[in-house]
Amino acid sequence: MAVRSIRIYPDPILKQVVERVEEVDETVIAVIQDLVDTMVDSGHSVGVAAPQIGELCRALVVDVSKSKLGKDNNHGLLEMVNPEIIEKSGSKMMREGCMSVPDYTGNVTRAEHIVIEFTDRAGQPRVIEANGFEAVAIQHELDHLDGMLFLDRVSSLKTDLYRRKTR
């Protein structure tokens, strides 16, 4: 469909909680395809959520298969509508970045293992288990649907937030 512009913090849409999708219709499928196109076009992203492209739609995409951190443990391209974590365990701190916060990365602690239920692009309910980097990426994108950024989860903005190096 289309590569979309990423909304950059402090854009107010990034702080909105998104309502559930009632039906996976053509409009939602188009948003999902735009999310995939935008993620792939970036060349480095492992996920994008609808608010990041200006859509108030409870949808996200994640694909860690091309990342060195996720290439050995992943489900490939995940297209999720109304994702909800139903179980989580463990704890893992990782340095996270975000296309909506391009100048910074930060240390964030998240669950290491999650079970998540969602509806896929075809309108079918799914439940998957995700571990490690894939679980972290899903949680990061899910936060966008709840109006949260990784900045909101950094325990200390003074010691756990880092300016990205320019290339």
CATH code for the domain of 50 = 3.90.45.10
Q: Which domain holds residue 133?
A: 12-163
The count of structural domains within the chain is: 1
The answer, as to whether pTM is greater than 0.95, is: yes
Residue 140: inside a domain, yes or no?
yes
Residue 5: inside a domain, yes or no?
no
Report which secondary-structure segment, H or E, holds 105. strand 101-110
19 is catalytic: no
How far, in Å, CA of 62 to CA of 74, rounded? 10
Residue 7: inside a domain, yes or no?
no
157: Cβ contacts below 8 Å, ≥ 6 apart: 106, 151
Q: DSSP labels for 21-40?
A: PS---HHHHHHHHHHHHHHH
Tens of pLDDT along the chain (167 residues) come to: 799 999 999 999 999 999 999 999 999 999 999 999 999 999 999 999 999 999 999 999 999 999 999 999 999 999 999 999 999 999 999 999 999 999 999 999 999 999 999 999 999 999 999 999 999 999 999 999 999 999 999 989 899 999 998 65
CB 141 within 8 A of CB 48: yes
Residue 109: inside a domain, yes or no?
yes
CA dihedral defined by 13, 18, 19, 20, rounded to 10 degrees? 140
Catalytic residue among 79, 112, 134, 141: 141
